[in-house]
Amino acid sequence: MAGDIGKIRIRVPSSAKAGDVIRVRCLVIHPMERIERDAQGKIVDRNYNYITRVTATYLGKPVAVFDLTQSVSENPAFSFALKATAPGPVTVTFVDTHGGKYESRADIAFA
C-alpha cells in the first residue's frame, strides 16, 4: 500500500470533437491521514500527510485547481470539465503536506 502512494489514474473520453465539453476523472492512491486524538481527546500534534492541492491543466493552461483538507476521503477522486479545443495532454499534479509531488498525464485524442 505504502509503495503505491502517488499512483494516479486519469480517465478521459476515448475520443472528442473540437468544442466538446468533456469530463475528466482522476484518482490518486494516498492515505489522506486523519487527525488523531489521544485517550483524552487531545489532538496528536504531528505533520499529517494529506494532499493540499490538485492542479489540472490542459494544453499547459490551468483548468481547475482544488484546495483540500483532511475532510477529503482516502484515495480521493476528482472530476472536472474542460472544453476540448485541440488534441493534447491533460496533466494532473498532486501536492501533499510531506512534500510529495505526484504528476500524471493523459492525452485527449480527437476522433
Partner 1 sequence: MAESITRRSALGTLGVVGVTLAAGALGTPATARAQASPQALGLQETVQDGLKRVFGGRPMKDGSALIKLEIPPIAENGAVVPVNVEVNAPMTPASYVKTIWIVADKNRIPIVARATLTPDAGQAFVGTHIRLGETTDVRAVVEQSDGTLLTAKREVKVTVGGCGG
Residues that bind partner 1 (CB under 8 A): 21, 23, 25, 34-35, 43, 45-48, 52, 58, 61-74, 76-83, 97
Give how far Cα 32 sits from Cα of 24, 27, 35, 48, 110, Å: 22, 13, 10, 8, 35
In the complex, the smallest distance separating the C-beta of residue 7 from partner 1, rounded to whole angstroms, is 16
Residue 54 phi, psi dihedral angles, 5° rounding: -125, 125
In the complex, the smallest distance separating the C-beta of residue 103 from partner 1, rounded to whole angstroms, is 18
Nearer to partner 1 by C-beta: 3 or 99? Answer: 99
* Collapsed DSSP state (helix, strand, coil) of residue 93: strand
In the complex, the smallest distance separating the C-beta of residue 3 from partner 1, rounded to whole angstroms, is 22
